[in-house]
Chain A
């Protein structure tokens, strides 16, 4: 990588204090996002994918804390940065879209008030200029009659529309990176389709990089260029979408892909990964997946090494599934 990455996370560790002491929800996570790239961050509940997203934006509050690692964004170190510096970056260079749009939208304020407020917090623009920008962005996300909509309150929008408004707010100041935490999980399939379409088009047009956090591999398959799979706080595999979905190297990724109904014959038993994701307090030593892995052996009790394969296909496993093509 000769170009400086837009976002470079190195060995990030975010811990939460529990009765059993400080435990890592995110453990030794390293990621890179290039300008304009779409990265899918995939994992199930308890994998730490959302905590990773929040860590980047500095939204981790007690009882959680980033204890190790570095997050370099456009050359600035975000871990340990001052509150003021983080505030400057958020909304401006770095934006977030949440699963529930009401986490972004204030129910008692009109949409235009909220959007203009966001703009004026970072730029000195007149209200008219700010309003023009709001209009522009609402059109970009596919909201018809934007002038009318600007005067409305969030409760007058449907779920899909609210999420579009949340996306519009994220785009207002032309950020370099948007982190989207499961924004379409709670939406209908057709609305999800629309929003995915808009996001793909927008990122191409504006050159914004995107980290799309989801549990749905199929969404990532259509949208992202690269994907990272998380399990129990660690990234177990990452690479291009073709690499990870066609030739998965980690048994968990393989198991996950096999569990999807579309990958089994109709009416046949689905392939299932036995057991359940370990919770924060009872993660096994060494490889967290070994109690559920059909290939586990004695050496899996030690921390699995990170192995690199061609074209930056990375896997954290002592015996990756090379030679197994799906």
Chain B
């Protein structure tokens, strides 16, 4: 990898959602019935970078903030703190500006406007941004559909006339129409059947080669991430706990959460083994545990784990982990 500026650089990005009290609650507070404003630390001081052409797998379970982080990167949420730098410059997400990052959504049906024909939906953005002329629109739509493996004659159809896998492809075509550099795939294959998932994953891999795309692949499915990603970022309750090359992470997971996650994944080759499940449940993001968020469930927790949040430390080249056990 060259020493040039990374494609995407996240610097201490945080995203908090606060429910601020409305008029009635403010009045009640004056009388002493204060309901404290609740803050969800969806993303907490996340820093990592993505090089051009890489596929980064972002894994974690519900409440870990991976979807929120994906949306911050794609410009759908504004970061509360920190910077998101694209090729060294802060990103401009204003409406009317052609985006360089596009998002592929989880629910293929909900992400398509049910009243728009798919051809129109695909070319709407490039037309609005002046990327193509109106006369080229029809051809462009047909071309993009073919690029994602669908028949060009489908341009006139509506979303409800397609199957889940086809809708996923249409979503991809729509994202590709604005010629993005980075694609954020938010659980893009989670809602698909296994055989269709394979088709769509192959499509992602083909497009990556053909169009030199970079991916941030958000998924809870470790098997998929292992197959497609170069590097993996593991998140737990808003924080990054481990980063590493995919093979390295799977072979030598360092953080106890990563170890537990990998142990829990049901595998086809293990027959009727006894499970050793990890105890407890993911805490609510409204009141995360102090210090290291994982300490209540960690089999190796020490007293310091409840007091201090462990920093992300580099163990070997490219392998980072946030755990007090490493110091």
Contact = CB atoms under 8 A, between A and B. Distances in A.
5 contacts: A45-B193, A189-B222, A193-B264, A271-B198, A272-B202
B11 to A, nearest CB: 29
Given A161-B281, A189-B265, A272-B198, A200 B275 contact: yes
Given A188-B62, A221-B269, 12 more contacts: A44-B196, A189-B220, A191-B281, A192-B264, A194-B277, A197-B277, A218-B223, A259-B195, A266-B227, A266-B247, A272-B195, A272-B199
A222 B273 contact: yes
Nearest to B193: A44
Contacts of A192: 264, 266
B271 A215 contact: no
Interface residues of B, number: 45
A270 B202 contact: yes
B246 interface: yes
A193 B282 contact: no
A200 B195 CA distance: 28
Interface string A208-219: 000000011111
Nearest to B189: A261
B25 interface: no
A242 interface: yes
Interface of B: 61-62, 163-166, 193-199, 201-202, 205, 220, 222-224, 226-228, 246-247, 260-261, 263-278, 281-282
- A225, A264, A266: most-surrounded residue (chain B CB, <10 A): A266
A270 B197 CA distance: 10
Nearest to B257: A190
A196 interface: yes
B230 to A, nearest CB: 9
A245 B202 contact: no
B265 A160 contact: no
Nearest to B55: A267
B264 A270 contact: no
Contact of B278 (A193, A215, A279): A193
A241 B271 CA distance: 8
Contacts of B261: 189-190
Contacts of A160: 281
A262 interface: yes
Interface in A122-173: 158-161
Contacts of A260: 194, 198, 223, 268
A161 B281 CA distance: 9
Given A197-B277, A270-B202, A277-B193, A218 B266 contact: yes
Contacts of B265: 189, 218
A325 interface: no
A271 B224 CA distance: 13
A225 B197 CA distance: 26
Interface string A14-53: 0000000000000000000000000000001100000000
A160 B277 CA distance: 14
B198 A216 contact: no
A190 B268 contact: no
B220 A188 contact: yes
Contacts of A242: 271
A269 interface: yes
Contacts, number: 136
A273 B281 CA distance: 37
A193 B268 contact: no
B267 A262 contact: yes
B9 to A, nearest CB: 25
Contacts of B220: 188-189
A245 B197 contact: no
A192 B220 CA distance: 12
A270 B198 CA distance: 6
Contacts of B61: 188-191
Interface in A214-236: 215-219, 221-223, 225
B267 A270 contact: no
A194 B282 CA distance: 12
Contacts of A194: 275, 277-278
B197 A259 contact: yes
A206 interface: no
A222 B281 contact: no
A217 B195 CA distance: 12
A263 B275 contact: no
Contacts of B202: 269-270, 272
A256 B194 contact: yes
- A188, A255, A271: most-surrounded residue (chain B CB, <10 A): A188
Contact of A266 (B198, B199, B222, B246): B246
A276 interface: yes
Given A189-B222, A266-B227, A269-B202, A221 B270 contact: yes
B281 A158 contact: yes
Contacts of B193: 44-45, 215, 277
A221 B267 contact: yes
A260 B62 CA distance: 23
B281 A197 contact: no
B114 to A, nearest CB: 19
A274 B282 CA distance: 39
Contacts of A115: none
A167 B25 CA distance: 39
B266 A259 contact: no
Contacts of A197: 274-277
Contacts of B274: 197, 200
Nearest to B199: A272
A257 interface: yes
Nearest to A42: B194
Contacts of B276: 197
Given A261-B223, A261-B224, A267-B227, A219 B266 contact: yes
